[in-house]
Structure 1
Amino acid sequence: MMKALDKNQYTEYDVSHIFNEIILSHLEGYNGTKKEQLKSFLGDLQKGGCISGMIGEFIYHNDCKAFYIKHLEDLENIKNDLEESFGDPVANRYKLPHYTFLCWLCFEEYCYDIYRNVFE
């Protein structure tokens, strides 16, 4: 199972270990093998995003702020990597506090990258 989580371009960042723990903590509510559970979870996240409230760790601004402060360098670097690959700045279209925006953006991109590399 951990092999699937390592199939993304962000494993070099320390925050990837925390993101993996968050992902694993949410799989129990899904049916099937671990891989099927992972696919279902990642699919749900792609549909609803963190804004849906499905990731308890990132619901409250205070929690996002604490997470951002602790992992600031990694989160900013992931955002910079994304902007470099897009060739454009990533827009904070919901006008969220920067720390919440970065937590959501980075976690969602991390999960999408796993989905893309494992299931597509």
Structure 2
Amino acid sequence: MKAFKQSAYSQYRVSDTFNKIIRRNISSYNGKPKAQLKAFLLDLQKGGCISGMISEFIYHADCKAFYIEYIDDLEGIRSELEEAIGEPIGNRFQNPHYTFMCWLCFEEYCFNLYTRVFE
């Protein structure tokens, strides 16, 4: 999907995996691929990963394995985001760090994709 190339985070290896997760999830939405992507991204913005809509990030054990595999990328995305907003990002739900990082980075990746493709 061409839209994925517009991500500000495409230089990170984890972006390919994020794109696969998005592709799997948009198939349940109606319409053409771009409309499916938009509907998915809007749903994610409303509920976030905490809603359980991303099966890869429901269980702490899955998040831990994902974080270990992509630790440098996830920490890099967080650093870029903190630099852009000018302050540290807090773990307001007090989740394990690895779950917090998976949720934060996936949500930021999707939000960035939405703003670049649809705004």
Report the equivalent of 2:25: 26
* Deviation string, structure 1 residues 48-85 (Cα, Å, up to 9, x no partner): 00000000000000000000000000000000000000
Q: Does 1:71 align with 2:85?
A: no
* TM alignment of 1:83-98, pairs within 5 A: 83-98=82-97
How many Å apart are 1:8 and its aligned residue?
1.3
* Deviation string, structure 1 residues 11-54 (Cα, Å, up to 9, x no partner): 00000000000000001110000000000000000000000000
Report the equivalent of 2:38: 39
TM-align CA RMSD: 0.5
Q: List gaps (5 residues or longer) in structure 1.
A: none
Report the equivalent of 1:110: 109
Amino acid in structure 2 at the alignment position of 1:45 = L
Q: Does 1:61 align with 2:49?
A: no
User: With structure 1 as the length reference, what TM-score do the two structures score?
Assistant: 0.98
Q: List gaps (5 residues or longer) in structure 2.
A: none
Number of residue-to-residue matches in the alignment? 119
Between the aligned partners of 1:87 and 1:71, the Cα distance in structure 2 is: 24
How many Å apart are 1:88 and its aligned residue?
0.1
Amino acid in structure 1 at the alignment position of 2:102 = C
Secondary structure in 1 matching 2:70: helix
How many Å apart are 1:5 and its aligned residue?
1.2
* TM alignment of 1:7-26, pairs within 5 A: 7-26=6-25
Amino acid in structure 2 at the alignment position of 1:85 = A
Secondary structure in 1 matching 2:105: helix
Secondary structure in 2 matching 1:91: coil
User: With structure 2 as the length reference, what TM-score do the two structures score?
Assistant: 0.99
